[in-house]
Amino acid sequence: MLRLLVLLLVLANAGYWAWSQGLLTAYGLAPGVQAEPQRLATQIQPEAIRLLTAEEARKLENGPLASAPIAASAPECLQAGLFNEQQTANLRASLAATLPPGSWQFESSVESARWIVYMGKFNNPENLAKKRTELRQLGLPFRAVNNEALAPGLALASFPLEADAEKELARIATKGVRTARVAQERPEARGQILKLAAVDAALHAQLDAIKPQLEGKALLSCP
pLDDT for 98-125, tens place per residue?
Answer: 899 999 999 999 999 999 999 999 999 9
Confidence of residue 31 (pLDDT cuts 50, 70, 90): low
Who has greater pLDDT, 99 or 20? Answer: 99
Looking at the domain assignment, is residue 38 inside a domain?
no
**In the prediction, which pLDDT does 159 show?**
96
Q: Percentage of the chain surpassing pLDDT 90?
A: 54
CB 73 within 8 A of CB 201: yes
Report yes or no on 68 lying in a domain: no
In-domain check, residue 172: yes
Q: What is the DSSP letter of 214?
A: G
Angle at 110 between CA 146 and CA 106, to 5 degrees: 110
**Does residue 109 contact residue 79 with C-beta atoms inside 8 Å?**
no
What pLDDT is recorded for position 14?
72
- Residue 14, Cβ density class (10 Å: 0-12 exposed, 13-18 middle, ≥19 buried): exposed
Torsion 209-211-212-214 (CA) sign: positive
Tally Cβ neighbours within 10 Å of residue 12.
Answer: 10
87 lies in the same domain as 136: no
pLDDT at 68: 47
Helices (H) and strands (E) in the chain, counts: 7, 8
85 is a domain residue: yes
Residue 45 belongs to a domain:
no
- For residues 133 and 179, membership in a common domain is answered with yes
Q: Give me the number of domains the chain comprises.
A: 2
Whether residue 59 lies inside any domain: the answer is no
Q: 107: domain CATH number?
A: 3.30.70.120
The candidate with the shortest Cα–Cα distance to 154, out of 127, 124, 117, 189, is 117
pTM of the model: 0.53
Of 158 and 9, the structure prediction assigns the larger pLDDT to: 158
CA angle 215, 219, 222 (to 5 degrees): 135
Both 106 and 203 in one domain: the answer is yes
Q: Tell whether 177 is covered by a domain.
A: yes
- Does 122 share its domain with 177? yes
Same domain, 129 and 148: yes
Same structural domain, 169 and 120: yes
- Give the confidence band of 66 by pLDDT, cuts at 50, 70, 90: very low
Is the pLDDT at 130 greater than 70? The verdict is yes
pLDDT digits (tens, 9 = 90+) for 147-204: 999 999 999 999 999 999 999 999 999 999 999 999 999 999 999 999 999 999 889 8
Residue 145 shares a structural domain with residue 182: yes
Q: Is residue 14 part of a domain?
A: no
Task: Specify whether 102 is located in the same domain as 193.
Answer: yes
CB burial string 112-121: b at 16+ within 10 A, e below? eebbbbbbbe
Q: Residue 103 is part of which domain span? A: 76-111+189-221
pLDDT at 77 over 90: yes
Same domain, 174 and 155: yes
CA 157 to chain centre: 30
